[in-house]
Every structure is written in C-alpha cells, then in structure tokens.
Amino acid sequence: MHIPFCAHKCHYCDFYSLVDPRDRQGSFVDRLGRELHALAPWGRGASLATIFVGGGTPSLLPPFLWDRLLGVLHEAFDLTSLEEFSVECNPESVSPELFSTLVRGGVTRVSMGAQSFNPSHLKTLERRHSPGNAGRALAMARDAGIPRQSIDLIFGIPGQTLDDWKHDLDDALALGTEHLSCYNLTYEPGTAMTARLKRGEFTPADEDVEVEMFRITLSAARGAGLERYEVSNFAKPGAQCRHNLVYWRGGNWLAAGPSASGHINGHRWKNTPRLDDYLSIDRDGFAPVSEHETPDPGRALTERLMTGLRLSEGLERAWVVAQATALHAGAASGLARAIERQTALGFLETDPARLCLTDAGFLVGDSVILELAGALDL
Amino acid sequence: MPDQTPHIRNFSIIAHIDHGKSTLADRLLQATNAVSAREARDQILDSMDLERERGITIKASAVTVMHRHKLGAKADDLEAEYEAPVDESGKHASKKGAPEEHGDLFMLNFIDTPGHVDFNYEVSRALKACEGAILVVDSTQGVQAQTLVNAYLAVNENLTIIPVINKIDLPGARPIDVAMEIEQTLGFRAEDCLLVSAKSGLGIPELLASICEKLPAPRAPVSDQLRALIFDAVYDDYRGVITYVRVFDGSLKLGDKIRMMGTGRTFQVTDLGKMTPKPVRVPSLGPGETGYVVAAIRTLKDVRIGDTVTLEHNPATEALPGYQPPRQMVFCDFYPATSDGGDAPDFEELREAVEKLSLNDSSFTFAPVHSEALGFGFRCGFLGLLHMDIIQERLEREGGVEIVQTAPTVSYHVLVRGTDTVVSPSGQTLKPVDPATGNATDIPPGHTLVDVHNPAELPNPSTIAQIREPICRLEVMVPQEYIGDIMKLCLDRRGTYKNQSMVSATRQLLTFEIPLAEIIYDFFDKMKGMTSGYGTMDYEVTGYRSDNLAKVDILINGDPVEALALICHREKSEQRGRALISRLKEQIPRHQFEIPLQAAIGGKVVARETIKAFRKNVIAKCYGGDVSRKRKLLDKQKEGKKRMKSVGSVTIPQEAFMAVLDQGD
Ligand SMILES: Nc1nc2c(ncn2[C@@H]2O[C@H](COP(=O)(O)OP(=O)(O)OP(=O)(O)O)[C@@H](O)[C@H]2O)c(=O)[nH]1
Ligand code: SF4
Ligand SMILES: [Mg+2]
C-alpha cells in the first residue's frame, strides 16, 4: 500500500511522493478504501499473509485517518492468519497516539527511516529529523506494543568517512534492532541530489570507500547477530521482512495506492503514479493502471534471477536449469557456461543445490545477474 | 528539337571543391531556358540526397541545352539574349521575343563535375568526352590545390580552357588578385578571365558567348563506323543500367544492336536520349553529341566505363582510348553492428546492402572477411576517406544496416621470398600484384610480390623480404606564414620536401613525397587546423616504395585482436602502439576482472596498460516490488552489451575499433 505524502522532499528520493499543499489526505484515504474493497475479491476468501504500508511517509497520516484506513482493511479482507503487518515511519512524524492506533489495527512491525545518526549527513540528504529522534520513535513504538522493528540507513553519502559510517552502524545496532536495511546512496535521475552532483556541489563517495563500507556493514551486522539475507538487508534469525521476501521470491501480492505495483502469476502491473488521477479516476474502485505486463516465460526467469540472486538463499539450481531448458535450445547451455564462469571468478557459490552469490559476488551482484540473464539469449 | 543543324560545344565545369560549379550549372540551365523558374532549385544537378545534404557533388552529371548566339557577336549585344534569373520573391523576368529569330543555334553538352579529390576520376572521365572546360575559381579563395590538379588534367587532354572567376558578388571578392594568381600558376592571361557571379547571374551572358566563340567544335568524324565513348553509367531500379556516351564517329539510333568493343558484349538499344536535365528521347545521336543509352544492361558489372560502343553489324576496327579503372586507395572492414560473433541474418542484410549499393557505385570493392572479434563482414576498398564515409552512410541509410567499421589502411605490396602461392595466417591466398597497375616492377628473381590490404593478412614475417607502401605526390597550398608548420607536419610524417612555387605574393604551393598511409588518417584535419582553414591539398599516388615497416599486434586479455592490428613505420610503432592501447583503455568499460592491454611487435611487448576490475556493481535498492522497472533497466544493459563485440570474455564497444586512428602525436 502506497501513501504518497511527505512533509518535505528529501534530496536523494525518487519514490512517488509529494508535499501536498491542499489537504487531500482525507479524500485519499477514502479513495484508498474504495480500492481495497475492489481488490478484496482477489483475496479469494483466504486470509492475507503480510501487509506492507510504504510511501511517502505513512506516519504522516493523522491517527484518525489511520483509524479509518485500518477499519476498511479489516472490513474488506480476511486477516485472521496475518503473519506480518509493517508500516514505514519517519522519526519526526510519530506519536504515542499514532502507534496505539496502529497496534489496535494489527500492525506488528515498524520500519524507521533513520538514514543516519550524524546531523551533517542528514543535512546533506535534506532529511528533516535530528539524530536522536529515531531512537526515541522506536522506543515509543515498542512501548505502544509494536514488537518488531527495523532501521533504514544510507551509506556512501558525500563527505561520509568510514568512521562516520561505523558510528551510524553502532548507533543503529545499539538500539537492539532485529532488522537493518543499509542502502548505498544512488543518484537517481531527476532528483535534487543528482542535480547537485552535476553542478559539482560535492564529490561523490569514492568507490573503494563504498566497498569498504559494504564490508564493514556485513561484519558489524554479523557482530550483532544479524545475518545478511538480501543485498542490503540484515536480520536476526527469523526476523526477515516476510513481505519483502514475497517480492523477491516471486510470490503474489496486491497493490493499492498511486505507484504501487502488484504481481499475480506472471501479471505485473503498476498503478499510475499520479495522485490527481488516482483521486479522479475510479473504475468500480480500481485505480488507473499505467503498466501491465502479461506472463512471459523468458521474462519470468529473468526476473527470478534478478530478484532471487539478491537473496542469500539464492535460487534452486535444478529449478533454474529446468526453466532455462524450457525456454529454447541454447538457453540452458548458455546459462550453464555463464554460471561456470561466474563461479570461476569467485562470484557464485559452488553449492550443488542452490545458486547463490558469494560475499565477493554480492559486491558485483548486478554484473553477475547481467551475465546470467544475458546468457539466456532472449 | 529544332530542324536547323546546331553547332555543338562539349565542355566540363571543373574547380576546387565548393568554388561554385554546380551553382554555375544552375545559371547556365536557367539562362538557356532549360529549367523554368518553377522547376529551379539550388544545385539542381546534385540530385542524390547525400549530395544535397552535404552540399557537395559526388557524381558528375551530363546535360544538354540549346542556345542561340550570333557567332562573332560582341559582348555589348548580349544583353538581349540573357534572361535574368528568378529574384528572391520568385518573380520571373518577362519572356523575351522568340530567340530562334536571331543568331545561330548551339547545342551545349556540359558536365558538372565533383571537386573533391576522392572523385577525381569522375573529372578525368568527363574531360575525355569534351573539347573544352570551364575552370571556376572562387574570387574570395583564389587558386587552390584542386584548381591546379583539375586544370592540369584538362591541359593534358588538350582541352580549351575558359578561366572563370566566380562569386564576385561577395564583399570579400578579390577578382584582380585571383586573376593574377591564375596567370602566375596556370599561364592564362589575367585579362582573359571572365568575372561572374553564379549566384546573381552577373557575367553569365558573356560566359555563354565565350563558350560559343572560344570552345572548339567537336572534331570531324574520321569514319562512318560508330565509335562512342562510355564516360559514365548509373544504375536505375526500373530501367537497369543507363550509360552516358559521347559519339565521336558515326551515329547511334534507337533499336540499334550495339557491341561493346572491350568486353565484346552486345545489347539492343531500347531508349536513347539527352538529359535536358529531364530525360528527353531522341531518335539518334550523331557525331560530337552526348546522350544516354538504355540497352537492357542488367548490372553495372556488365559495362566498363571507358569502353567504346560500336554497331554489331558494322563495327569499327579500333576502340577509342579508354580510362584507367579507378584505383582503391583506402581499405577497411565493414561488419554488421548488431551481431555478436557473426549472426547470420545481420550479415545477410549487410551483404544485400553492399551488393545493392555496388550497382550504383562500381568504384568501391568488397570481399567477404571473417574476424574473431567482429564476425562475418566485408573488406572494402575506396577511392579515399570521403568515399569511405559516403559508402558507409549510404549503406546505413539506403540499406538500413548498422555498421561497425575498422580503421582504414592502405594497400601494401609485400615482397615474399619464394615463388609458391603466398597465404595469409588465416589461410587465405594472397593475390600477386597485378602487373597492369605499373607498380609491380622490380621483383627480384625467386620472389613473389603480393597485395595485402589488411594488416591481419600479412604473411609469416620470416618470409617477408620487403614491405612496400604507396607513396604520393602531395601538394599543399598555404599562406606564407604557415609554411614552417606544414613543413614540420610533413617531415614528421615521413614526407620529403620536393618543391616550392609561388601562387601569389602571399601564398605558396609546396610539393612533398609522402607515404599515403601517413596522410589518410588525420592529416587533412591537422593541416586545416594548422592553417586556420586556409590550406588546401591534393595528392596522387605515384608508386610504391619499401620502408622499414612493422606490424603492431594488439592483445586484449592475452588474445590478439586482428581487427586492431596495424602496420606502421618501425620507428613509430611503439608510439602508435602506446597511443592505441591508451585509447582502448578509455573506451573499454571496466569488467568483473582485470584486463591487460598489450601492444606487441614480432611477439615482443612494447607497451602495456591495465583496465582495473570494477570493485562494486550493485544497486543497493529494490523498492516496493517494482520488479518491472528494475528488469527494464537490466534489459537496457543487455541491449547495450549485445551491441558490443566480444574478444574472449571481454566486451568491446564498437567505437573502440576506430581507436587505431589515433596517431599518437
Ligand atoms: N555569394 C555567392 N555564393 C556562391 C556563388 N556560387 C556558388 N556559391 C555558393 O558556394 C557554395 C558552393 O557552391 P556549389 O555550386 O555547390 O560548389 P561546387 O563547386 O559545385 O562544389 P562541389 O561540387 O562540392 O565541388 C554554395 O553555398 C553556393 O551557394 C556566387 O557566385 N556567389
Ligand atoms: S520521506 Fe521517504 S518518500 Fe518522503 S521524500 Fe523522504 S525519502 Fe522520499
Ligand atoms: Mg557541385
């Protein structure tokens, strides 16, 4: 579920979100409610397994609107066997009242956008909270009775030293978090950060430093009992984000809100990322969709390689081979050669059952995926 | 056609590039009412798209117009004959009284020629069909390198030349100085130069009068038996080959059965006519006339330009002097861009495009090649670099194929010990040098001289006695103050200074002897740059000479890449090798592993570089299950990779194959 409102646009951000000058949050929640009702029959009577509310800044919605939203959710869907319900929060926009509303609605997990604990780096990113906020917000959530917590951090910020990053990791881990997401800053087209980079306002982080940061992250997380389960995600045993695993394992999920994307058995679609359209176009409750891809075996395998290899568990070798064989004559042999080569370079594990990246492989994961997907010769 | 027998004048318009030949042709067409105001457009004879876009003439065009002129008339009487060209607003001067009433009737056959050095053979062909030439000189530029070359060609053909100083409407025109230059360099009297503006039409009546008065009539026929010179041929999708002929003796009629004296082939004439510039059918072509012939000739290979046409039932005994076939001076490979490792369909597309284009332009050669890195393609030969450029562009544009081109090289004559058949490392038989080219003399007993126009095909070095390279006579015309720079440039490029002569008080003509290989790459640009654009040059291959030449091999990740190999002087080989691999270092993206680049001569590494492996290549974010967006990114990368070529496990962008062009100076 995508909540597209933010109090301020962070400079690196390319998510669909806006600072709303008009007060449209109420009509948005009502519209979202209609979409949820429209989507409900797709649940086929079974209970939802996981819910993730992202954004934007979901915590920006005031408690009474959350109340309304959670009400609709319970009305429309069977949530009896819900295993995980995550909500993204920004440290500066939370309150005890908000958390108790969330708890009452069944929320079990918050993901806190801390990004850094260093005021000058927060400034570079144009984040509006102060370093202490994140810890306080998490304590508040725990006190309100939300059992599971995650912290988001960003590294590779211009000007950030290795020591700075170590401190950020220590600060986050000291909060006793069970889950940590560490994203390497990327310069996405159209963002303020990219424009500043082009204007030469700062020097981007050095590649060698970023590599070192990747390494430090891994050892610090492991030191605190968190294992990497995805390129940028670390968790204590059993504390992985199950919702995200659904994405990465090629499962099925529904999507609601502008720019949200869904997947059901090879159909992928994305709601139009435009709040005006979302509010004004209403086809029996369904949102306007701007992209829809229908099932295609070649694409499906490419996507499984792409998301599956990002996971530490990787993919089942036999399954991958069978899929490639079914594609066309050269696909399996091409893939086998590519796998052999990537293994020789030390980027893939030799595990006979699973196809997965080594620690060195994770650093160059995109190139490994490119080699493997390219070898399918679609 | 009028019933009165016209006087005939045959002439070519020749000049340095851009001095206004085609524009002058426009004025002649207009002044003789061959083109109406409505049909008029700039450089109307430049009919190819590429000619119009680049604003240059690539192919010569022959046209016929009719004109009235009273022989012996003085210039003052000419006003009435001339019709002013269209003015800006598109208005046309009023039609004058019927011109047939006064003056003698003239049939003017003229050929607009290209000015660029690569297409010089077009000029030579055209001149053989004429008795006269209009030598156009730009009044702001003065005499330039190709002015001289083309004027000499005309002089050698014994043509009567009318020097014309053009563009006198321009504020920077220096007609008097330029007339002096013409006198100084070519020996025409300054006062004999006509002053015209091909743009405004000024001086055109005087030029027409001069053409009628001064140019000789065609020589009288020496027999009744038909002899017509084929001076050009073009391919037309609908009618097959259209040949352009100049009749010297006898006459040619529609329906005649003709025989080509050189090839012995016979054809039936199905259409006969003149370009006016629209094609207009005529019943016959008589002595002195020029026109086109369509005779169910299917491909350009079936005609030889320079051949003599005669009649099957009443043949002439001796052919007219013909032409030297154009000689390809520059060679490079063309490969289809999209394939990796020689995908059959892409190659077939390229083959089709090449074959089709060769129907239109018989002056480039092609033969299939295979390269480890680039797959299947063609080794092509061109008249020069502009010609290469144009062929590549036409293949891409008209044939719809995308091309990867290797760096151009010249053709070498390699003297090999022994008299057995010589084979290249890839097992290809190397052709002995054709003795007809005149450069194949001086083969010591027990040796074989073979033609090598691809460094990869150089035979085993231990069998090579000599490598001979084409040597040119280079003429550079420059303002005084740049002489030092040009001298230095030429000497650096293994040139030897031969001669210097004065064009005017401020400009000199320098002559050098220089290897062709040294000037085909970037010489022209360098020369232009050094002389602030004022220098012009012309070259002609005069022979072959041996020098201490070596092959530089390029190894990428330990694998030799033939498409990057080059032949150069041993003294420069290290410098060239180093320049080449540092260019490659910039062009080859980082890989998952380290890539050593090496330049080697005879197995000895003379330069090396390393492309470091990238250390990090992972986008750390994968948000909200928007898998499609990430996959599209991946597809783009895959596409980009497909467009590269691979050598072993290294992928190389196609542009990198042009890195060889870097001279390292
Ligand atoms: N002002 C002025 N410009 C002229 C005159 N004659 C030609 N030009 C311009 O000079 C340029 C070259 O003219 P062209 O007629 O294409 O020259 P060309 O000699 O046929 O060129 P190539 O065929 O490429 O060798 C064009 O931009 C013409 O418009 C003239 O008398 N006056
Ligand atoms: S809070 Fe999140 S969604 Fe909003 S602008 Fe910042 S990064 Fe983007
Ligand atoms: Mg022209």
Q: What is the DSSP string of B108-172?
A: EEEEE---SGGGHHHHHHHHTT-SEEEEEEETTT-S-HHHHHHHHHHHHTT-EEEEEEE-TTSTT
Contacts of B87 by beta carbon, 8 Å cutoff, 6+ apart: none
Would the CB atoms of A366 and B638 count as touching at under 8 Å?
Answer: no
- Separation CA B556–CA B373 (nearest Å): 11
How would you class B344 by CB atoms within 10 Å of its CB: exposed for 0-12, middle for 13-18, buried for 19 or more? exposed
Whether residue B2 has pLDDT greater than 80: no
Ligand 3 centroid to Cα of residue A327, in Å, is: 57
∠ CA B443-B449-B451, nearest 5°, is 145
Looking at residue B436, what is its pLDDT?
66
Would the CB atoms of A253 and B625 count as touching at under 8 Å?
Answer: yes
* Contact in structure between B399 and B336 (CB atoms under 8 Å): no
* Contact in structure between B288 and B218 (CB atoms under 8 Å): yes
- Separation CA B249–CA B246 (nearest Å): 9
Taking the CA of residue A253 and the nearest CA in chain B, the distance in Å comes to 9
From B12, B14, B18, give the residue whose CB has the most ligand 1 atoms within 8 Å, as the site to mutate: B18
Looking at residue B595, what is its pLDDT?
96
CB < 8 Å to A261, chain B: 624-629
Six-digit token string for B554? 């390029």
From A1, A2, A9, give the residue whose CB has the most ligand 2 atoms within 8 Å, as the site to mutate: A9
How long, in residues, is chain A?
378
Contacts of B84 by beta carbon, 8 Å cutoff, 6+ apart: B93, B201
Q: What is the pLDDT of residues B56-107, one digit of tens each?
A: 888 888 999 999 988 876 555 555 444 444 444 434 444 444 444 578 999 9
Looking at residue B88, what is its pLDDT?
40
Looking at residue B370, what is its pLDDT?
84
CB < 8 Å to B616, chain A: 184, 207, 210-211, 214, 363-364
Looking at residue B593, what is its pLDDT?
95
Nearest to A73 by CA among A39, A24, A46, A108: A39
Q: What is the pLDDT of residues B372-395, one digit of tens each?
A: 778 889 999 998 888 998 999 889
Would the CB atoms of A183 and B621 count as touching at under 8 Å?
Answer: yes
Residue type for position A280: S
Instruction: Look up tokens 């504390």; give the residue.
Output: A239
Q: What is the pLDDT of residues A155-165, one digit of tens each?
A: 999 999 999 99
Proximal ligand: closest to the CA of A13 = 2
Compute the half-sphere exposure of residue B189: CA atoms within 13 Å on the CB side of its CA: 2
Average pLDDT over residues A230-258: 96
- Separation CA B86–CA B88 (nearest Å): 7
Q: What is the mean pLDDT of chain A?
A: 95
Would the CB atoms of A231 and B618 count as touching at under 8 Å?
Answer: yes
Compute the half-sphere exposure of residue B556: CA atoms within 13 Å on the CB side of its CA: 30
Proximal ligand: closest to the CA of B198 = 1
Looking at residue B665, what is its pLDDT?
54
- Separation CA A63–CA B631 (nearest Å): 37
Looking at residue B37, what is its pLDDT?
77
Reported as a pLDDT band with limits 50, 70 and 90, residue A378 is confident
Residue type for position B658: M
DSSP state, residue B41 = -
Give the rounded percent of residues in chain B with a pLDDT score beyond 70.
91
- Separation CA B481–CA B518 (nearest Å): 23
Q: Does B633 touch chain A (CB under 8 A)?
A: no
Looking at residue A159, what is its pLDDT?
95
CB < 8 Å to B627, chain A: 247, 261, 263, 268, 303, 306-307
* Contact in structure between B422 and B429 (CB atoms under 8 Å): yes
Strand-pairing partners, residue A18, are: A5
- Separation CA B109–CA B229 (nearest Å): 14
Reported as a pLDDT band with limits 50, 70 and 90, residue B663 is low
Find the closest chain B residue to A245 by CA distance: B625
B59: number of Cβ within 10 Å: 19
- Separation CA A169–CA A161 (nearest Å): 13
Proximal ligand: closest to the CA of B54 = 1
Average pLDDT over residues B420-426: 87
Would the CB atoms of B592 and A306 count as touching at under 8 Å?
Answer: no
Looking at residue B473, what is its pLDDT?
93
Q: What is the SS3 assignment for B306?
A: coil
CA dihedral B538, B540, B546, B552 (to 10 degrees): 60
Nearest to B269 by CA among B252, B285, B288: B252
Q: Does B628 touch chain A (CB under 8 A)?
A: yes
Q: Which of B590, B595, B612, B626 to mutate to test the interface with A (most CBs of A within 10 A)?
A: B626
Find the closest chain B residue to A152 by CA distance: B621
Looking at residue B160, what is its pLDDT?
97
CB < 8 Å to B621, chain A: 183-184, 186, 232
Nearest to B62 by CA among B229, B269, B290: B290
* Contact in structure between A356 and A330 (CB atoms under 8 Å): no
Looking at residue A304, what is its pLDDT?
96
State which H helix or E strand residue B461 sits in: none
Looking at residue A68, what is its pLDDT?
97
Q: Which of B621, B630, B639, B646 to mutate to test the interface with A (most CBs of A within 10 A)?
A: B621
Looking at residue B661, what is its pLDDT?
63
Ligand 2 contact, A57 CB (< 6 A): yes
Instruction: Look up tokens 């002089």; give the residue.
Output: B155
Q: What is the pLDDT of residues B327-386, one digit of tens each?
A: 888 899 998 876 444 445 688 889 989 988 887 787 899 988 888 778 889 999 998 888
Whether residue B605 has pLDDT greater than 70: yes
Cα distances (angstroms) measured from residue B473 to each of B144, B385, B543: 16, 17, 9
Taking the CA of residue A167 and the nearest CA in chain B, the distance in Å comes to 20
Looking at residue B238, what is its pLDDT?
85
Per-residue three-class SS string for chain A? CEECECCCCCCCCCCCCECCCCCCHHHHHHHHHHHHHHHHHHHCCCCCCEEEEEECCHHHCCHHHHHHHHHHHHHHCCCCCCCEEEEEECHHHCCHHHHHHHHHCCCCEEEEEEECCCHHHHHHHCCCCCCHHHHHHHHHHHHHCCCEEEEEEEECCCCCCHHHHHHHHHHHHHCCCCEEEEEECCCCCCCHHHHHHHCCCCCCCCHHHHHHHHHHHHHHHHHCCCEEEECCEEECCCCCCHHHHHHHCCCCECCCCCCCEEEECCEEEEECCCHHHHHHCCECCECCEEEEECCCHHHHHHHHHHHHCCECCCEEHHHHHHHHHHHCHHHHHHHHHHHHHHHHCCCECCCCCEECECHHHHHCHHHHHHHHHHHCCC
Ligand 2 contact, A101 CB (< 6 A): no
| Residue, of B657 and B621, whose pLDDT is higher | B657
Nearest to B371 by CA among B89, B141, B652, B173: B652
Ligand 1 contact, B169 CB (< 6 A): yes
- Separation CA B342–CA B372 (nearest Å): 9
| Residue, of B345 and B271, whose pLDDT is higher | B271
Domains and CATH numbers, chain A: 2-248 (3.80.30.20), 297-374 (1.10.10)
The least confident of B20-34, B270-284, B296-310 is B296-310
Six-digit token string for B96? 């004058």
Q: What is the pLDDT of residues B225-234, one digit of tens each?
A: 999 999 998 8
CB < 8 Å to B637, chain A: 370
B184: number of Cβ within 10 Å: 17
Reported as a pLDDT band with limits 50, 70 and 90, residue A272 is very high
- Separation CA B277–CA B26 (nearest Å): 10
Ligand 2 contact, A10 CB (< 6 A): yes
CB < 8 Å to A371, chain B: 592
Proximal ligand: closest to the CA of A113 = 2
CB < 8 Å to B615, chain A: 207-208, 211, 363-364
Looking at residue B81, what is its pLDDT?
47
Q: What is the pLDDT of residues A29-78, one digit of tens each?
A: 999 999 999 999 987 778 999 999 998 999 999 999 999 999 999 999 99
Would the CB atoms of A374 and B638 count as touching at under 8 Å?
Answer: yes
Six-digit token string for A186? 């990327």
Six-digit token string for B24? 């002058």
Looking at residue B45, what is its pLDDT?
84
From B22, B119, B138, B166, give the residue whose CB has the most ligand 1 atoms within 8 Å, as the site to mutate: B22
Strands A233-235 and A227-230: antiparallel
Q: Is A327 left (phi over 0), alpha (psi -120 to 50) or beta?
A: alpha
Q: What is the SS3 assignment for B526?
A: helix
How many contacts, defined by CB atoms under 8 Å, are there between A and B?
Answer: 105
Among the partner residues A182, A299, A362, nearest to B618 by beta-carbon distance: A362
From A1, A5, A6, give the residue whose CB has the most ligand 2 atoms within 8 Å, as the site to mutate: A6
Q: What is the pLDDT of residues B120-145, one digit of tens each?
A: 888 988 999 999 999 999 999 999 98
Looking at residue B515, what is its pLDDT?
95
Among the partner residues A261, A367, A368, nearest to B625 by beta-carbon distance: A261
Q: Which of A152, A246, A366 to mutate to test the interface with B (most CBs of B within 10 A)?
A: A366
Q: Where are the alpha helices (DSSP H) in B8-79?
A: 21-31, 49-54
Q: What is the pLDDT of residues B224-268, one digit of tens each?
A: 999 999 999 888 888 889 999 999 999 999 999 999 998 899 999
Q: Does B622 touch chain A (CB under 8 A)?
A: yes
Would the CB atoms of A373 and B621 count as touching at under 8 Å?
Answer: no
Q: What is the mean pLDDT of chain B?
A: 87
Looking at residue B620, what is its pLDDT?
66
Looking at residue B97, what is its pLDDT?
40
A219: number of Cβ within 10 Å: 10
Among the partner residues B618, B620, B627, nearest to A263 by beta-carbon distance: B627
Ligand 3 centroid to Cα of residue B406, in Å, is: 30
Among the partner residues A214, A345, A374, nearest to B593 by beta-carbon distance: A345
Q: What is the pLDDT of residues A180-210, one digit of tens each?
A: 999 999 999 899 999 999 999 999 999 999 9
Looking at residue B91, what is its pLDDT?
41
